[in-house]
Structures are given as structure tokens and as C-alpha cells.
Structure 1
Amino acid sequence: MNIVITGATSGIGEQVARDYILAGHRVYVCGRNQEKLAALTALELKPQQVTALAFDVSDVKACEQYLSPLQDIDLVILSAGVCEYIDDAQHYDPSLVQRVFAANFFGMVNCAAALLPQMRANTTIAFIDSMSRLLPFTRAQAYGASKAATYYFAQSLGVDLHPKGIRVVTVSPGFVKTPMTDANDFAMPMRITVEQASASLRKQLEKGKQTIYFPRVFGWILRVMHKLPTAVQLAIARRMKDS
């Protein structure tokens, strides 16, 4: 397959890129860290198997420059993202929310806009959001909202792209051990490794799943909680905040 992966220099995106490269696929790895991109390029098993594209997904012109020339793409995985928390909900800086949305939401929008015109029937574009969109978690106003926006955008996009044969997939991870979650100062139940996350993502994509959750049990728990009345969800979130 010919695969494009953004956010390929850290976390889930880096591991998925590594695994697809070692499986022999043609992979375009996208990110800002030149050293990490070079390390991924060094993994190639055959000439010109890996192409490194260094740009910032929040820069719409850069996305167009680097992604629009790509042809014959079978799979796109949009994985780039950041996390910042709001520590004082009464006195927060709007620029924090804008930074998070610039990477997590508009980064996805920019990349999809550059890639979709070249995509054909029987191709797949996967948007990585987060299980954080399922409940109003404390301090996660910016992060959770950006992931909820990503999920809605992708699902709506999937409706309009379905007649063209382009499959849109949403990927909602729980806690995965990455440099981003290593910075968290709270308990992260059922946290899995990036290797486990990559294996689950690739397996479910191969099966043709349109909504992907991992780890499975944690995803099931949060989806059940998401279906509870809003008052109950808020009560649970407040209890978690105070615990």
C-alpha cells in the first residue's frame, strides 16, 4: 500500500509508521522533527520506500505544498496533535484553545483538504481523535473539544464521501503511553503501549472498521457512560475531578 501518516515523529503516529514500513509498505512520513523523520527513513527495506515530508500541519499552505502532489494513495492516517490543559477555568488564555485547535482540528482539516482531491474509490482516510470527547473531563476543555470537533467533522465528511467510495474512519484511543501522556499528572487507567495501539489500529483498519476504539474494554466503558443522561455524566465528571 501507499500510505500517508501525519504526526509520524511521535506517539501512535510514529509507531504505526514504523510498523507499516517494516511490513514493506510505501510510506510518506510527515512531521516537524527532522531527526525522527531521518530515523524512519533509515528503516526502509527497499529504495524509495520511505519519503520524509517536514512541515507543520497548522500551516495550510505547507499542507498544500507537500501533500497535494501525492498520487495513488491507499491509506491516510491523520495523527498529528497536541495537548494542553486549562488549569483555571475562570481565568484561561484563549490563545491556549486556539493553539490546540490549530493542531488537533485545523491540522486535520488542512491535510484532508490537500489529500482528498487525489483520493479515489476504495481508499481510506483515518482521523485520530480521542475518547476524551466522550465525557466532560476536568481541565480538558480545549483538548476534548478539539477531538469532538474532529470526530464530528470526519463523520460528516464520511457521509458526503461515501458515494465516491472513499472510506472515512474515526480512531478514538484511550490512554496510550506516549511522550504526551507521560506529561500527565493524573491516573490513566488501562493505559497501553504504542506497540499495542499500533497493532490494534492496523488490525481494525484491515478489517474495514469505520469507528475504532482501543483499548477495547476502556472504550466500551466510556461509550456506555456517554449514553447516560447528561446530569449523570456531569456528576461522574465532578466526582472524578474531586477524587
Structure 2
Amino acid sequence: MSNKTILITGATSGIGYSLFEQYSEQGEQVIVCGRNQQQLSSMGNVAFKTCCFDITDQQAIEEASRTIESLDVLILNAGNCRYIDDAKHFDGELFADVIQTNLISLGWLLQYLLPKVKKGGQVVFVSSSATLLPFQRSEAYGASKAGVDYLAKSLKLDLIKEEIDVTLIHPGFIKTPLTDKNDFSMPFLLSSDEAASRIIIAIEKRKSYAHFPKRLTLLLKAISLLPDFVWQKIIVKD
């Protein structure tokens, strides 16, 4: 059986890097994408191909896409997390930046990379369990990831005729350079290697949806079913 060609955005750190390592160990042809040229260069001896671009740069994405022939799996993993610290004095610039990075960039990535995905291939969206329940300070991040969820679910319907599967991933708290900046408790924290392993299993099983760790995600789903005044008392911190 021939090796799969798998493209990963945000592959130079966190979950993306762990996905790169595990897929490479399996002998797959991994195309790693990111902004950090130095890190990409260090991965070049193992990676099938490296592409250096910012996911918000349409022209750079278009140029990189010209060097890619075909894909079996497209993993849209790159993103950012920033918080609204003062809701009354809302930071519109921060909001726009997060929406641009986490959601609008997916439009450009899909425009140039989805045509490369073979019949019978897969598109994977790494979203967040933050969409299961509203959280304080998460207006920008949560809104962007809620958009990712809808995009993935809608795209899945339109790609049925193309015989391309779509997988939506809801990770919980994962130890990455992004979450290292968090100043709050992160229950049931998983390593990026654990997260990557679970994502790979979901892809191999061609699941339409995967969430983990379930002790967190199922708890959030259960809380979301409670009356608003109840779950808000649980979530809101003074």
C-alpha cells in the first residue's frame, strides 16, 4: 500500500508537530507548514516537504499550493488564542485578529488546498471544546472556533458528492506553547503527543467528529444542558 500524503498546518509546534512526528514514524509523506523557517528547516530531513507561510497571507498560500500535486489528508490545525480581558472596553482589533487567524484564513487554505485533496481523501479541522460552552474572556477565540465548527459541518455535506470526508476535532486542554500562557486551571490537561495520537485514530476511522478527553468534553456537554442560570453560576468566576 502506498504511503499517504498528509499536509499539516501549524506543524512547527504543539499538536501539529506531534502529528508530524507520529505520521513520519508511520512512514507517511508529511508536508509540514508553518511560519518558523528555522524550525521547518530542522524538520526538512524527515518531512516529505516543507512550506513556510503565514496562514493569513493569501498570496503565500497560493504560491505554496503550486508546489503541491495531491493530498490524501489535509489537516487544518494552525490557529491562535487571545483573550478579551476587559469586555466593557472591547478590543475590536484583537477580536478581528483572532477571527482572521482562526477562521478567515481557512477560506484561503481551502481555496488553494482543497482542490489538491484526492477522491476518497479527508479534510480535518482542529477546532476546540471551548465551543461546547461559553467561557469568560473567550469572545474572540470561542467565536472563531464556533465558526470553524459550522464550516466543517457544512463543508462535509457539500463534499459527499466528491467522496471526500470531513473530520471535526474538539480537543480539550492540551499542553502547547499557546496554553503555557494561560493563567487559569486547565483540568484533564493532555500532552500534545496524546492529542495527536487521538486525532490520528479519528482520521484512520474516518470519524466525522471526535472529542477528548471525554471526562472533560462530556462534562461540558452535560453542563450546557442545564438551565442558563445554573450553568452560568458554575462557569462565571468573580
Shift of 1:231: 4.0
Residue aligning to 1:66 = 64
Deviations 1:173-208 (A, max 9, x none): 100000100100000000010111111111121112
- 1:97 pairs with 2:95: yes
Matches within 5 A, 1:1-243: 1-42=4-45, 44=46, 50-238=48-236, 241-242=237-238
Unpaired runs of at least 5, structure 1: none
Please give the alpha-carbon distance, in whole angstroms, between the structure 2 residues aligned to 1:68 and 1:117.
11
Deviations 1:74-120 (A, max 9, x none): 00110111111111000022010111111111122211111112323
Tell me whether 128-137 or 113-122 shows the greater mean CA deviation. Answer: 113-122
CA RMSD of aligned residues (A): 1.4
Q: How many percent of aligned residue pairs carry the same amino acid?
A: 39
Please give the alpha-carbon distance, in whole angstroms, between the structure 2 residues aligned to 1:113 and 1:227.
37
Contact 1:108 1:127 in 2 (8 A): no
Tell me which amino acid in the other structure corresponds to 1:115: L
Please give the alpha-carbon distance, in whole angstroms, between the structure 2 residues aligned to 1:39 and 1:224.
44
Deviations 1:124-152 (A, max 9, x none): 00011100111110101101110001111
Shift of 1:69: 4.4
After TM superposition, what 4+ stretches of structure 1 lie above 4 angstroms from structure 2? none
Please give the alpha-carbon distance, in whole angstroms, between the structure 2 residues aligned to 1:120 and 1:110.
18
Contact 1:18 1:40 in 2 (8 A): no
What TM-score, normalized to structure 1?
0.92
Please give the alpha-carbon distance, in whole angstroms, between the structure 2 residues aligned to 1:204 and 1:122.
16
Unpaired runs of at least 5, structure 2: none
Shift of 1:22: 2.0
Tell me which amino acid in the other structure corresponds to 2:36: N
Alignment length (residue pairs): 235
Shift of 1:212: 1.2
Tell me which amino acid in the other structure corresponds to 1:10: S
Deviations 1:5-41 (A, max 9, x none): 0000111011101211122111110000012111222
Please give the alpha-carbon distance, in whole angstroms, between the structure 2 residues aligned to 1:129 and 1:27.
21
Please give the alpha-carbon distance, in whole angstroms, between the structure 2 residues aligned to 1:118 and 1:150.
20
Contact 1:100 1:142 in 2 (8 A): yes
Tell me which amino acid in the other structure corresponds to 1:63: I
What TM-score, normalized to structure 2?
0.94
Tell me whether 74-83 or 118-127 shows the greater mean CA deviation. Answer: 118-127
Please give the alpha-carbon distance, in whole angstroms, between the structure 2 residues aligned to 1:144 and 1:54.
27
Tell me which amino acid in the other structure corresponds to 1:61: Q
Please give the alpha-carbon distance, in whole angstroms, between the structure 2 residues aligned to 1:135 and 1:74.
33
Contact 1:76 1:126 in 2 (8 A): yes
Tell me whether 109-118 or 219-228 shows the greater mean CA deviation. Answer: 219-228
Please give the alpha-carbon distance, in whole angstroms, between the structure 2 residues aligned to 1:155 and 1:191.
26
Tell me which amino acid in the other structure corresponds to 2:17: E
Please give the alpha-carbon distance, in whole angstroms, between the structure 2 residues aligned to 1:63 and 1:233.
42
Contact 2:74 2:117 in 1 (8 A): no
Tell me which amino acid in the other structure corresponds to 2:110: A
